[in-house]
């Protein structure tokens, strides 16, 4: 190992992007149900509008708008509208920070709260892995609590003990996903009440990446909790995963801190234009959510017929399943065989996370899973 590389980085298990991007593998030959992207691309007419914007409105030789002001205003309008917030308590653009995906915002949050302060983060596993990975890259300790093995609710008693523990490295940030990835469960009233009672010196990060599918949001609570911040993304229901646009909503003072630590010109002009365009056309874009929820119901019903699988309810655009003890396959072997047949799913959190695809992808995924698990069961 090169001596100037930090040992923690050399030993870090990095997030691995899906294999569909490997040279020589054409993405269209795979059903990519492993990264919770939208099953639908942008409509052709919106792509044409984006092309026109690139030609007529984008100066490639100029840096992007580093203030993101127009996009912040559009996002504030959407957030207020989607949460049905009254004009008297409406959120303002000064309460929004834009990031190159939510990952950049997570890193900015860690830099603004824990870096160099001998402070740790708390997350309940299984959950989104990037909280821990990004914290480790910055040398920030990660403390994990567990979840109920049946419902995946946070073990609040254990989490409270961690928060109250007398240690030289106190918890400074608590991460929660609403609904959780990979397990799909939204926060319960008990979990929300626990978050409300946390002391003001602990930042609560509520990741609502799947809000458009779940319709569960705590945005209206931000006025009562200045130590809360909510993360959202355009990568899921808004179909802009390739543009990497995420945003944080929180107290203006904390948003100002995030603005200080983020990189300048962090969001390309084309990404800002794309986000503005889908917000302007949000009704037709988000109208596909209903059919996706129907597909989620269909796929769950089909997967429930496979005796070797246990499938949990989900409020996201994905399902979570685990192999039963009767199965003679490992997750790695099952994933490899599915990949060979043309389906990518993600082995994470001690189970399988399966993104909801289009009807044909969902049908093939069920058929392949059923065939693989059934054939192994017959052989044994």
Q: Is pLDDT above 80 for 380?
A: no
Angle (CA) 302-147-143 rounded to 5° is 135
CATH of 44-285, one of 3.50.50.60, 3.40.50.620, 3.40.640.10, 3.40.50.720: 3.40.640.10
Domain 18-40+288-379 - what CATH class? alpha beta
Residue 25's SS3 state is coil
Q: What is the mean pLDDT of residues 51-69?
A: 96
Structure-block tokens of residue 102: 């939510």
Structure-block tokens of residue 326: 């009767």
CB distance 343 to 365 below 8 Å:
yes
Residue spans of the domains in the chain: they are 18-40+288-379, 44-285
How far, in Å, CA of 286 to CA of 273, rounded?
A: 18
Other CB atoms within 10 A of residue 162 CB: 17
For 209, what's the count of Cα atoms within 13 Å in the CB-facing half-sphere? 32
**Which pTM value belongs to this model?**
0.94
pLDDT digits (tens, 9 = 90+) for 336-347: 999 999 999 999
Q: What is the mean pLDDT of residues 89-116?
A: 97
pLDDT band at residue 176 using 50, 70 and 90 as cut-offs: very high
How far, in Å, CA of 65 to CA of 110, rounded?
A: 24
DSSP string, 221-232: GGGG-TTEEEEE
Classify strands 228-233 and 142-145 as parallel, antiparallel or unpaired. unpaired
Q: Is pLDDT above 70 for 179?
A: yes
pLDDT digits (tens, 9 = 90+) for 253-298: 999 999 999 999 999 999 999 999 999 999 999 999 999 999 999 9
């Amino acid at each position: 190992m090169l001596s100037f590389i930090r040992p923690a980085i050399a030993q870090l298990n990095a997030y691995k992007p899906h294999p569909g991007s490997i040279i020589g593998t054409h993405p269209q030959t795979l059903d990519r149900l492993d990264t919770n992207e939208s099953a639908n691309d942008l409509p052709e007419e919106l792509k044409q509008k984006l092309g026109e914007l690139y030609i007529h409105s984008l100066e490639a030789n100029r840096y992007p708008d580093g203030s993101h002001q127009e996009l912040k205003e559009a996002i504030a309008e959407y957030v207020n509208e989607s949460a049905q917030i009254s004009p008297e308590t409406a959120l303002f653009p000064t309460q929004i920070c834009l990031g190159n995906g939510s990952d950049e915002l997570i890193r900015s949050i860690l830099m603004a709260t824990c870096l160099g302060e001998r402070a740790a983060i708390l997350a309940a596993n299984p959950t989104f892995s990037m909280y821990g990975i990004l914290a480790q890259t910055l040398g920030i300790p990660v403390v994990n609590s567990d979840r109920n093995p049946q419902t995946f609710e946070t073990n609040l008693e254990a989490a409270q003990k961690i928060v109250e523990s007398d240690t030289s490295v106190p918890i400074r940030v608590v991460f929660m996903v609403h609904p959780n990835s990979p397990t799909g469960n939204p926060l319960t009233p008990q979990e929300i009440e626990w978050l409300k009672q946390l002391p003001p010196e602990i930042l609560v990060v509520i990741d609502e990446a799947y809000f458009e599918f779940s319709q569960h949001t705590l945005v209206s609570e931000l006025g009562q909790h200045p130590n809360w911040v909510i993360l959202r993304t355009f990568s899921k229901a808004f179909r802009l995963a390739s543009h990497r646009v995420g945003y944080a909503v929180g107290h203006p003072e904390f948003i100002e801190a995030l603005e200080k630590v983020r990189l300048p010109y962090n969001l390309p002009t084309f990404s800002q234009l794309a986000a503005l365009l889908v917000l302007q056309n949000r009704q037709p874009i988000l109208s596909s959510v209903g059919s996706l929820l129907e597909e989620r119901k269909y796929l769950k019903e089909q997967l429930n017929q496979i005796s070797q699988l246990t499938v949990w309810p989900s409020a996201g655009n994905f399902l979570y399943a685990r192999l039963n003890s009767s199965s003679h396959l490992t997750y790695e072997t099952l994933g490899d065989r599915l990949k060979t047949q043309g389906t990518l799913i993600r082995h994470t959190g001690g189970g399988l996370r399966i993104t909801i695809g289009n009807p044909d992808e969902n049908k093939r995924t069920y058929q392949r899973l059923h065939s693989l698990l059934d054939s192994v069961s017959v052989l044994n």
